Structure 1
Amino acid sequence: MRAIRITEFGGPEVLQLVDDQPEPEAVPGTEVLTVTHAGVNYADTHQAEDSYLAPQTLPLVPGAEAAGTLPGGRRVVALLAGGGYAEQALAPAPTTFDLPDAVDDGQALALVLQGTTAWHLLRTSAHLQEGESVVVHAAAGGVGTLAVQLAKRWGAGKVIAVASSEEKRKLALDLGADVAIDGAEEGLKERLEEANGGKVDVILEMVGGATTDQSLAALAPFGRLVVFGMASRQNPSPVNVGELMGRSRAVVGFWLVHAMKNPQRHLAAPMQELLHLTAAGDLRPVVGGTYALSDAAEAHRDLRARRSVGKLLLDPSR
């Protein structure tokens, strides 16, 4: 079957289209999914260069999510152990979710990994309280576009979107953000505090480096900085525990893999809520583009260069 195979680690150039990938065979607890669309995530770019939280083994077919049909015709979206960039993939039963007719593939793929991440960032990690201010970095991205909407829906007092271009900031405002500011590192702390009229309560951060440092400096007493990525590939300064205590601030890490270890407890309810909101028209997943499977490397380049918005998809039929 056609698939994207990685045989050496590196940048987007290591994503190679092949037509001789063996078809997956179901094992207990899985079914073979005929993939109609696969999702592309920023974590995939780390996986390709083996800089991800979990070490990778070659050769590999990347892809942690796919939408399609199971034997018998059930239309589903699934979180995968890998292998999504292909015509077929193994869908584990505990992380496979039936799709309502009103939710298309792109919307479903925006929800299953990035939507559940946004849900947990706000609910589980930040424990968002009504009236609190929320900063969403990369607000035009897959997680960010949903986090902006969910934060407003769940009673945030002010949602401050951070994005790298005027077009992306406009999108965030259209999705409900109260303010949108430039994400450039220089002066970021001051812009965050100016946008909120003081220090902020909750910050969702996935850039790393100086962006994390300046975000922490803008955090109010009892504020929570939730870190869920490091797109810059730069580590922030070490966190001083004494300063956290002295200012009553918290730094929290989040990785969806831990929710996947107990999907019945940590994924079923969020997915049900997100699918219901989307089907009802109350949540707007943003699909930023659909690429041919043969153009997977281009999708990675666009992600790394911050040229994309929302969710990116691969079409294995092309």
Structure 2
Amino acid sequence: MHAITIPEPGGPEALVWGEVPDPVPGEGEVLVEVAASAVNRADILQRQGFYNPPPGASPYPGLECSGRVAALGPGVSGWSVGDEVCALLAGGGYAEKVAVPAGQLLPLPKGLDLKQAAALPEVVSTVWSNVFMIAHLRPGETLLVHGGSSGIGTMAIQLAKAVGAKVAVTAGTREKLERCAELGADILVNYREQDFVEEVRKATGGAGADVILDNMGAKYLDRNVNALAVNGRLAIIGMQGGVKAELNISTLLTKRAAISATSLRARPLGEKAAIVAAVREHVWPLIDAGQVRPIVDREIPMSDADTAHRVVEESGHIGKVLLVAP
């Protein structure tokens, strides 16, 4: 088969489309013939040499895919050859075939084509596990999403609105904020011109955000805590703004607030399967009903993954950038 390899870490040109051995599904795995994958920030970090795959995972980038089941490994039940699926991966999505633990497969939702479904597994699993399973966002509460026009952000807006929450977002351009508003965002903050702490407090009568979904890490830590409401929950899922910061514990104590930090890729298979099962139970009906949908910025041939990485690194896109297999 063909796959994107990374012979040496570096810029987008480090991504090389070439022939590699076909994967063989092991115990409890399914072989998927890939229709499409999607670009995530973690793929860029892997390309740069900063985020190696966990032990036993495919060495190729790609944390999600869609496609058709091509073969079943030993011990797999509930799936059949030819089933149209999408999948959460620890790696290997930038390829024509990938072996996937059966617990990380999801059926193709109603109303979506096979390529569109590649935009779902990573963002839906990340948002549902952090905002709902850990931070327990409830109807009537306020969620603040940093990077509201990203793949994660566009999904977080829709899911939060679907459960009856109020949504605040940050983004850097008017166009991006307008797209967030179209998806249901109530509070729009241009982080280049406005202080999100002040804007969220103003919009909530001084209370602040009950839940914050943060991709920035260190750069926003102190301001995020200040933006939290009493009993607020901060969920950190990225480090785009650095990895080290000081925190005033007194503020955290006064607000009786909580901070969580998670990643999906290296979690044990059982934890990933539990998240995927929760997504199938709670989110798939919303997608089937048309209440939630993936936001796709553009589709690019998988062999041109370097172009897709440049698009994502320039941050001009809205939603997900897909890589379409031959």
Q: TM-score, normalised by structure 1?
A: 0.90
Report the 3-state secondary structure (helix = DSSP H, G, I; strand = E; otherwise coil) of the residue aligned with 2:316. Answer: coil
Please tell me whether the aligned partners of residues 264 and 272 of structure 2 are also in contact (alpha carbons under 8 angstroms): no
* Paired position in structure 2 for 1:244: 252
CA distance in 2, matches of 1:106, 1:171: 22
* Paired position in structure 2 for 1:12: 12
* Paired position in structure 2 for 1:279: 288
**% identity of equivalent residues:** 37
Report the 3-state secondary structure (helix = DSSP H, G, I; strand = E; otherwise coil) of the residue aligned with 1:184. Answer: coil
Q: 2:313 aligns with which of 304, 310, 316?
A: 304
CA distance in 1, matches of 2:28, 2:55: 23
Aligned positions of 1:41-190 closer than 5 A:
41-52=40-51, 60-71=59-70, 72-156=81-165, 158-184=166-192, 187-190=195-198
User: Quick one: which amino acid aligns to residue 17 of structure 1?
Assistant: W
Please tell me whether the aligned partners of residues 212 and 236 of structure 1 are also in contact (alpha carbons under 8 angstroms): no
Q: Structure 1 residues 227 and 53, CA, compared in 2 at 3 Å: closer, same or farther?
A: farther
Please tell me whether the aligned partners of residues 188 and 211 of structure 1 are also in contact (alpha carbons under 8 angstroms): no
Aligned positions of 1:163-242 closer than 5 A:
163-184=171-192, 187-198=195-206, 199-232=208-241, 234-242=242-250
Report the 3-state secondary structure (helix = DSSP H, G, I; strand = E; otherwise coil) of the residue aligned with 1:181. Answer: strand
Please tell me whether the aligned partners of residues 2 and 17 of structure 1 are also in contact (alpha carbons under 8 angstroms): yes
* Paired position in structure 2 for 1:253: 261
CA distance in 1, matches of 2:16, 2:55: 17
CA apart distance, 1:11: 2.8
CA distance in 2, matches of 1:81, 1:59: 7
Aligned positions of 1:25-40 closer than 5 A:
25-40=24-39
Q: Which runs of 5+ in 1 are unaligned?
A: none
CA apart distance, 1:95: 0.9
Please tell me whether the aligned partners of residues 58 and 91 of structure 2 are also in contact (alpha carbons under 8 angstroms): no
Please tell me whether the aligned partners of residues 137 and 183 of structure 1 are also in contact (alpha carbons under 8 angstroms): no
* Paired position in structure 1 for 2:74: none
Report the 3-state secondary structure (helix = DSSP H, G, I; strand = E; otherwise coil) of the residue aligned with 2:147. Answer: coil
Please tell me whether the aligned partners of residues 116 and 271 of structure 1 are also in contact (alpha carbons under 8 angstroms): no
User: Quick one: which amino acid aligns to residue 49 of structure 1?
Assistant: Q
9-18 vs 35-44, greater mean Cα deviation: 9-18
Q: Structure 1 residues 197 and 304, CA, compared in 2 at 3 Å: closer, same or farther?
A: farther
Q: Which runs of 5+ in 2 are unaligned?
A: 71-80
User: Quick one: which amino acid aligns to residue 144 of structure 2?
Assistant: V
CA distance in 1, matches of 2:175, 2:108: 31
CA distance in 1, matches of 2:5, 2:57: 9
Q: Structure 1 residues 45 and 274, CA, compared in 2 at 3 Å: closer, same or farther?
A: same
Report the 3-state secondary structure (helix = DSSP H, G, I; strand = E; otherwise coil) of the residue aligned with 1:262. Answer: helix
Please tell me whether the aligned partners of residues 139 and 161 of structure 1 are also in contact (alpha carbons under 8 angstroms): yes
Please tell me whether the aligned partners of residues 119 and 322 of structure 2 are also in contact (alpha carbons under 8 angstroms): no
Report the 3-state secondary structure (helix = DSSP H, G, I; strand = E; otherwise coil) of the residue aligned with 1:304. Answer: helix
1:246-290, Cα deviation, whole Å (9 max, x unpaired): 332221112224375334432213124322211221112211111
Q: Structure 1 residues 273 and 105, CA, compared in 2 at 3 Å: closer, same or farther?
A: farther
User: Quick one: which amino acid aligns to residue 44 of structure 2?
Assistant: T
Q: Structure 1 residues 57 and 48, CA, compared in 2 at 3 Å: closer, same or farther?
A: farther
1:171-200, Cα deviation, whole Å (9 max, x unpaired): 110001112111238733223323433222
CA distance in 2, matches of 1:259, 1:241: 31
User: Quick one: which amino acid aligns to residue 282 of structure 1?
Assistant: Q
Q: TM-score, normalised by structure 2?
A: 0.88
Please tell me whether the aligned partners of residues 7 and 58 of structure 1 are also in contact (alpha carbons under 8 angstroms): no
Q: Structure 1 residues 104 and 58, CA, compared in 2 at 3 Å: closer, same or farther?
A: closer
Number of residue pairs aligned between Structure 1 and Structure 2: 314
Report the 3-state secondary structure (helix = DSSP H, G, I; strand = E; otherwise coil) of the residue aligned with 1:214. Answer: helix
Q: Structure 1 residues 101 and 189, CA, compared in 2 at 3 Å: closer, same or farther?
A: closer
Report the 3-state secondary structure (helix = DSSP H, G, I; strand = E; otherwise coil) of the residue aligned with 1:261. Answer: helix
CA apart distance, 1:62: 0.8
User: Quick one: which amino acid aligns to residue 32 of structure 2?
Assistant: L
Q: Structure 1 residues 125 and 58, CA, compared in 2 at 3 Å: closer, same or farther?
A: closer
CA distance in 2, matches of 1:302, 1:187: 27
